[in-house]
Amino acid sequence: MAAPSAEQQNGQSDESDLQSPISTNDEDSETGSGDGALPDYVVDLIEKEIGGDLKSLKKVSSLLEKLTAENKLLEEQVLTVSSSVPLRVSAALSAAEESRVSLEGLLQRERVLSNTLIQHLQGAQPWADSLGRTLEQLDNTEKHMKYLQCVSRIEELSDSIQQCLMTNSIWEAVVAVGSMASLDVGLKQSGCSHLQAFLRDTLHFWHKIIKDRLAGDFEELLIQLHWPFISPPTQSLSPPANAQELHSQLELLVAQLLSLQTSYPSPQYRLPPTTPLSLPVQIMLLPLSKRFRYHFTGNRQTNSLNKPEWFLTQVLMWMANSSNFMEEKIQPILDRNGANVNAKVELCRGLLTLAQEKLVSDAPRLLYDDALFCHLVDEILQFERELRTTHSYPSTLPGALHVLLDEVVLQKWLTVERKMAIEKVDAMLSAEGAWSSQYKDISDMDELKAPDCAETFMTLLLVITDRYRALPCPRAQLRFLALQRELVDDFRIRLTQVMKEESRNPLGARYCAILNAANYISTVLGDWGDNVFFLQLQQSAVALGEEELLGPLGVTESGRLASLEGSLFEGLLGLLERLRGDMLGRLLEAVMRDVQKKAQPYCRDRWLSLPSQCDQATMSLSSLACPLMQCLRDHLLQLQQMLCLPLFQMGWQDLAERLDLFLYQNVILYNHFNEGGAAQLQFDMTRNLFPLFGHYCKRPENFFKHVKEACVILCLNVGSALLLRDVLRQGQQPSPVTALNELGVYRLAPCDVLILLNLRASWPGK
């Protein structure tokens, strides 16, 4: 055996191996069997168990015994496994052979059964063919029987209906008609077209006969009840003697008509909604329909194209006259019979259909006459308001305005609106009082000082809004909104043209009126941008993608409009704001030119030779400043009278800032000041100039920061001025900005303050 010889070899060479150098590199381990070197795992074992200490060699014997025992155990395990493997392999082969034999037996049985089954099927095929033909004959016979049963059922129901009508048993006849209608529904998927046609013809036949009989009885009863109410009904002092009998007959006939319609509805009127009118209401509409067609069709004098209000008013009158009867007499019967309809609304629907058909017929004939077409539109709008408010017609149902949504009619309406609006704008701008305010003598109502032309123009736009507001189609409403935007832009261009003519006199009344007009239109459009109606139109425009109205928008702009951050009037507001800014700027430039002219002597005053404050009993306004102050006061009063309050607020603030820079650059920086000159300048500014603007705000000095801070620097005593100059020149602690802030100087920079300090003439040694 190999193991014992290996152990003996290891035992004989233990000492020599321990004394020889140990190699642990990969090359030595790979070639150890060839060059006599020990494998790495043997070296690791010896290093672990014995180490490099020679005294530990006594462990060699115990290690050898341990390894010998492990080697023997491994040999026994190998022998056991090698002896058991052949037995398992043999058993597996035997089982596989048995399975193969069993499978071959099963396959043989399957072939035998398959051949037997084929022979059986071949023998049974004639029987199956014969049975199939018999079943097919039975199926055809069953279909024929069912067909004949349906025909028999139809004839049975038809005979039953005839018998019921002969005996005046209307309820039973209505029930039979309902059964016949149910049979018709059941035959829809049968494919028996001839049978269905026969059934429907029969159903229509009996339905018409029953309806005609009930309609005749119902019409006779309505006559006794004085229907229709052509004029407002009058309250009789005592009810008729047979009132109870009439009411019972009314309830019976209405219930029978409802049941007949429920069993087989047969709409007569062509209405926009798909739901047909209630059958009792259809019959009640017949006399009204006859009257309507008699008066408003053909060559009757009442059928006039230029008087659409005649037939529209007549329809509204019939609705009003019949309202109480429908609510008090018909509605309770409908409720008791489970009819989920409103009697008054049903009658209004039927009458509205008459008006719609008449409008559809007349509208195309008026497209070439603007005056008559406008009159028709006005009457339709008025009719719609009366219908929705006075008669509480539901907003979910279409009214007369749907006639105006026809593309040809709608385009004509837009064209006429544009034409008439432009004509009115031309007339209002050429009117004598176009640029004066009609509320100029009423201070409480004239805050915006809008000229008459601007106010009339915005009223015109508001009227257009009221006219198309009720349209049920957002896309049509957006087309009118686009027209309004076009009209506003046209009016802005007209204002610009008139402004250019008046630009030679920017302080004139007409120029200021144009400025007020631009501001008024901008203010109203801003308010419209927050109006619920226009916000809804804005959402509709974004949803419908109206590029004509919105223009090419990016994702950000569309998102702003969709989130209601922007407005449909943003572009117009921007143009009006630019016009307003340009005009206000020209106006203030004209004021400043006049002020600068008056201020020239004041700019060249003898600031170096003025007496000090101690040498004067009292300080007074410089004589050279009087023309400047008077001119400024007159212009402020003039602007306050001619400009509206928002414009005047912007105007005087802008004027104050312009004047602040002018005085700073042309009076202060242009001159040198002794102590008296600085005190006089401060007195003129703080006690005279600033109070001129004190009428319009609490702290006017905040609008003259350059002048106010320059006066502070010029009026410092000599010691403070020297100390401040040193701080500004050295730039050390405290910092120049901090030092200036302590003096109340925030606008002027340190370099500007140094320039002002150099303008002082009262320095030591000078």
- The 3-state secondary structure of 339-382 reads CCCCHHHHHHHHHHHHHHHHHHHHHHHHCCCHHHHHHHHHHHHH
Supply the pLDDT for residue 475.
92
If you average pLDDT over residues 114-139, what whole number do you get?
Answer: 87
Residues 6+ apart with CB under 8 A from 95: none
Mean pLDDT of all residues in 703-720: 93
Closest CA to 42 of 57, 56, 22, 59: 22
Per-residue pLDDT at 582 exceeds 90: yes
What is the C-alpha to C-alpha distance for residues 739 and 712, in angstroms, rounded to an integer? 13
| 414, 480 contact by CB (below 8 A) | yes
Average pLDDT over residues 125-134: 86
| pLDDT score of 608 | 86
| Band of residue 236 on the pLDDT scale cut at 50, 70, 90 | low
- CA–CA dist 401, 381 (Å, integer): 7
Token readout for 470 is 């009720």
Q: What distance in Å separates the CA atoms of residue 383 and residue 400, rounded to the nearest whole number?
A: 8
Q: Can you tell me the distance from the alpha carbon of 404 to that of 572, in angstroms, rounded to the nearest whole number?
A: 29
pLDDT score of 525 more than 60:
yes
290-328: per-residue pLDDT in tens? Answer: 999 999 998 889 999 999 999 999 999 999 999 999 999
Angle at 221 between CA 216 and CA 223, to 5 degrees: 100
pLDDT band for position 53 (cuts 50, 70, 90): low
Contact 137, 224 (CB under 8 A): no
Residue 3 has pLDDT above 50, yes or no: no
| Predicted local confidence at residue 85, as pLDDT | 65
Name the residue with higher pLDDT: 61 or 17. Answer: 61
pLDDT at 45: 74
d(CA 316, CA 390): 9
Per-residue pLDDT, averaged over 178-198, amounts to 82
Give yes or no for residue 454 having a pLDDT over 90. yes
Per DSSP, the chain holds a count of helices (H) and strands (E) of 30, 0
Tokens of 398: 């279409």
Answer for the pair 316, 383: CB distance below 8 angstroms, yes or no: yes
Confidence (pLDDT) at 609: 84
Q: Residue 346 and residue 261: Cα distance in Å, rounded? A: 15
Residues in CB range of 486: below 8 A, 6 or more apart: 418
% of the chain with per-residue pLDDT over 70 = 86
pLDDT above 90 covers what percent of the chain? 47
- Report CA dihedral (391, 396, 398, 401) to the nearest 10 degrees: 80
Q: Does the structure show a pLDDT above 80 at 348?
A: yes
Q: Report CA-CA distances (Å) from 592 to 506, 537, 599, 694.
A: 12, 45, 10, 19
Taking phi over 0 as left and psi of -120 to 50 as alpha, with beta for the rest, 51 belongs to left
> Is 548 a residue whose pLDDT tops 70?
no
Would you state the pLDDT for residue 195? Answer: 84
* 665: three-class secondary structure by DSSP: helix
What is the pLDDT at residue 238? 58
Higher pLDDT pick, 704 / 207: 704
Residue 41's pLDDT is: 72
- Inform me whether the pLDDT recorded for 72 exceeds 60: yes
DSSP assignment of 704-751, as one string?
-HHHHHHHHHHTS-HHHHHHHHHHHHH--SSPHHHHHHHTT--SS-HH
Note the pLDDT of residue 2: 40
Angle value at C-alpha 582, between 577 and 588, nearest 5 degrees: 120
Question: Please, are residues 605 and 676 in contact by the beta-carbon 8 Å criterion?
Answer: no
Specify the pLDDT at position 12: 41
With b meaning 16 or more CB within 10 Å and e meaning fewer, what string describes 451-485? bbbbbbbbebbeebbebbeebeebebbbbbbbbbb
The percent of the chain in helix, strand and coil, each rounded to the nearest 5, is 75, 0, 25
User: pLDDT by residue (tens digit) across 530-545?
Assistant: 899 998 988 888 888 7
pLDDT bin (cut points 50, 70, 90) of residue 44 is confident
Please give the helix or strand (H or E) that residue 296 lies within, else none.
helix 279-296
Reading the block at residue 597, the tokens are 């002219």
The type of residue at 569 is F
**What is the SS3 assignment for 429-480?**
HCCCCCCCCCCCCCHHHCCCCCCHHHHHHHHHHHHHHHHHCCCCCHHHHHHH
**Which structural domains are found in the chain, ordered by start?**
40-166 (no CATH), 170-231+243-265+274-404 (no CATH), 408-580 (1.10.357), 609-759 (1.20.58)
Q: pLDDT averaged over the chain?
A: 84
| Ramachandran assignment for 235, one of left (phi > 0), alpha (psi -120 to 50 degrees), beta (any other) | beta
Residue 704 confidence (pLDDT): 95
Q: Report the distance separating Cα 747 and Cα 660, nearest Å.
A: 12
751 pLDDT higher than 50: yes
In this prediction, residue 654 carries a pLDDT of 96
Q: Determine the 3-state secondary structure of 124 from DSSP.
A: helix
Mean pLDDT, to the nearest integer, of 497-522? 93
Is residue 263 pLDDT above 80, yes or no? no
At residue 554, the pLDDT reads 46
Rounded to an integer, the average pLDDT of 332-348 is: 91
- Res. 268: pLDDT tops 90: no
C-alpha distances (whole Å) from 538 to each of 550, 566, 620 are: 9, 9, 62
pLDDT band at residue 447 using 50, 70 and 90 as cut-offs: confident
Q: Which residue has the tokens 């290996």?
A: 6
pLDDT of the residue at 761:
84
Measure the CA–CA gap between 490 and 488, rounded to whole angstroms: 5
What pLDDT band is residue 127 in, cutting at 50, 70 and 90? confident
How far apart CA 632 and CA 621 sit, in angstroms, is 15
- Whole-angstrom Cα distance, residue 220 to residue 230? 17
pLDDT over threshold 50, residue 271: no
Q: Token pair of 526, please? A: 């801003």
Task: Give me the residue label for tokens 């223009």.
Answer: 551
Residues 283 and 219: beta-carbon distance below 8 Å: yes
Nearest to 566 by CA among 582, 581, 551: 551
Which has the closest alpha carbon to 310: 254, 403, 383? 383
Given a contact cutoff of 8 angstroms between Cβ atoms, the answer to whether 157 and 179 are in contact is: yes
Is the pLDDT confidence value at 24 over 60?
no
Q: Is the pLDDT of residue 344 over 90?
A: yes
Read off the pLDDT band of 21 (50, 70, 90). very low
* Pairwise pLDDT comparison (119 vs 653), residue with the higher score: 653
Residue scoring higher pLDDT (344 or 262)? 344
Spatial distance between the Cα atoms of 373 and 735, rounded to a whole number of angstroms: 80
